Amino acid sequence: MIRAVFVLSFVLLGAAISAQTQPPQTRPPARPPARPATQRPAQAQGESGEAIARRVCGVTCHPFENVITIRRTRQQWEATVENMIGRGARGTSTEFAAIIDFLSSNFILAPNTIRGGSGPDDRPMVDPKAAEIARPLYMADCSPCHGPDARGTSEGANLVRSEIVLRDRYGSAIGPFLRTAHPPVPGVSKPAALTDTQILLLSHFIRERLTDTLRGSPMFKAGDVLTGDAKAGADYFNGEGGCTKCHSPTGDLAAIGRRMDPITIQQRFLFPSNAGSRRRSTPAPAVTVTVTTPAGESLSGTLVHMDDFHVSLRDEAGGYRTVRRGPDVRIVKNDPYAAHVELLSRITDKAIHDVVAYLESLK
CB atoms within 10 A of CB 233: 24
Mean of pLDDT values over 78-87? 81
Mean of pLDDT values over 54-58? 81
Dihedral over Cα of 297, 303, 307, 310: its sign: negative
In this predicted structure, the answer to whether residue 36 has a pLDDT above a threshold of 80 is no
The confidence score (pLDDT) of residue 233 equals 95
Please indicate whether the domains covering 49-106 and 113-211 agree at the CATH topology level. yes
Domain boundaries, the chain: 49-106, 113-211, 230-282+341-360, 288-334
Cβ atoms of 199 and 171 closer than 8 Å: yes
**Of 344 and 42, which is predicted with more confidence?**
344
191 contact partners, CB below 8 Å, separation of at least 6:
141, 178, 179, 182, 185
Give residue-wise pLDDT tens across range 116-168.
Answer: 444 454 567 788 888 888 999 999 889 999 999 998 998 888 998 888 888 88
Dist. CA 16–CA 13, nearest whole Å: 5
Give residue-wise pLDDT tens across range 154-206.
Answer: 888 899 888 888 888 888 889 899 888 888 777 666 666 788 888 888 999 99
Cβ atoms of 245 and 238 closer than 8 Å: no
Q: Right CATH number for 113-211 from 1.10.760.10, 1.10.540.10, 1.20.140.10, 3.40.50.150?
A: 1.10.760.10
Backbone angles phi, psi at 331, to 5 degrees: -125, 125
Q: How confident is the model at residue 56 (pLDDT cuts 50, 70, 90)?
A: confident
The CATH architecture one would assign to domain 49-106 is: Orthogonal Bundle (1.10)
Q: Is the pTM of this model over 0.75?
A: no
Mean of pLDDT values over 40-59? 72
The confidence score (pLDDT) of residue 293 equals 93
Which amino acid, residue 113? T
CA dihedral 90, 95, 99, 102 (to 10 degrees): -160
Pairing state between β 288-292 and 298-306: antiparallel
Dist. CA 150–CA 166, nearest whole Å: 13
Task: Provide the terminal-to-terminal Cα distance of the chain, rounded to the nearest Å.
Answer: 150
In this structure, what DSSP letter does residue 72 have? Answer: B
Q: Nearest Cα to 83, choosing from 164, 5, 197, 173?
A: 197
Give residue-wise pLDDT tens across range 257-280.
Answer: 999 999 889 888 887 866 544 455
